[in-house]
């Protein structure tokens, strides 16, 4: 795990983690797939979680005035259930299964974005408890397995058409709480340990830089070419993860 290739991929994944906490929508899901190219996705998830938590602290300060409290309450409550399910079923999550889950989530997200782009404008949906509990539980589970809770979160929140900054703040604060809730089970499962924490120390500056850069990008970048590039990268990485998992399993 100490090869030059590992540190290159780890640095890129860590920057992505930070950028997602700075408010760049959709980019966070790339972190585990990127690092899973050189190490186990289970190990990658454990290594990245403390970096998510550290970036969350910066994000909490950045978005301390921009958030929707009702959405946060619904999503955190439901996500806690999903985290419990993820912890209870952790023994069944092999590397190949996690690769399939992460890859499938990425492809699902890409297809959903494409289909939404073909639809005409629809009226904004208000926040509601039933949908929030459903998507929040899925968000908690996928976040526990591979830090991929952003997809179900977006399925629930995007139709509400919050302002860009309020959406970013709601996402950042909700997942700051969710990530903190994941720390104890990750430690008890051995996904976080003294060795992984030592590596995290070297990556903290990149996480903080990513959070700062993400905040700046969220404010100034048009939501066109940049996010299209993120979507294409996500689809390609996700397809590769599915391919690698199927080849090994078959």
pLDDT of 2 reads 65
**This prediction's pTM:** 0.80
pLDDT in tens, 105-143: 778 878 887 887 776 655 667 888 999 999 999 999 988
pLDDT in tens, 27-66: 777 888 889 889 988 889 899 999 999 988 888 888 888 8
Residue 1: pLDDT over 60 = no
d(CA 102, CA 171): 20
**% the chain with pLDDT above 70:** 92
Residue among 157, 183, 119 nearest 26 (CA): 157
Across the chain, what does the average pLDDT equal? Answer: 85
Domain residue extents for the chain: 4-249
pLDDT of 226 reads 60
Better pLDDT: 81 or 25: 81
Q: What is the mean pLDDT of residues 64-74?
A: 91
**What are the structure tokens assigned to 40, written together?**
């186990």
pLDDT of 232 reads 78
pLDDT of 241 reads 76
* Lowest-pLDDT range of 58-67, 179-188, 192-201: 58-67
């Amino acid at each position: 795990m100490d090869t030059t290739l590992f540190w290159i991929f780890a640095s890129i994944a860590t920057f992505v983690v930070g950028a997602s906490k700075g408010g760049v929508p959709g980019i966070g899901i790339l972190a585990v797939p990127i690092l899973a190219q050189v190490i186990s996705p289970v190990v990658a998830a454990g290594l990245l979680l403390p970096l998510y938590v550290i970036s969350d602290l910066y994000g909490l300060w950045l978005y301390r005035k921009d958030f929707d409290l009702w959405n946060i309450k619904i999503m955190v409550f439901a996500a806690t259930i999903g985290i419990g399910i993820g912890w209870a079923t952790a023994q069944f999550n092999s590397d190949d299964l996690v690769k399939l889950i992460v890859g499938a989530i990425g492809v699902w997200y890409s297809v959903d974005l494409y289909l939404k782009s073909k639809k005409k404008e629809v009226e904004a949906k208000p926040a509601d408890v039933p949908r929030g509990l459903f998507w929040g539980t899925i968000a908690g589970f996928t976040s526990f397995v591979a830090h991929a809770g952003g997809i179900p979160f977006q399925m629930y929140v995007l139709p509400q058409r919050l302002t860009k900054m309020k959406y970013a703040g709601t996402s950042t604060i909700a997942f700051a709480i969710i990530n903190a809730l994941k720390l104890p089970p990750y430690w008890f499962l051995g996904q976080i340990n003294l060795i992984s924490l030592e590596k995290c120390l070297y990556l903290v500056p990149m996480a903080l830089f990513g959070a700062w850069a993400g905040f700046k990008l969220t404010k100034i970048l048009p939501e066109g070419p940049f996010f299209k590039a993120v979507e294409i990268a996500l689809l390609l990485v996700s397809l590769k993860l599915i391919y690698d998992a199927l080849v090994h399993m078959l």
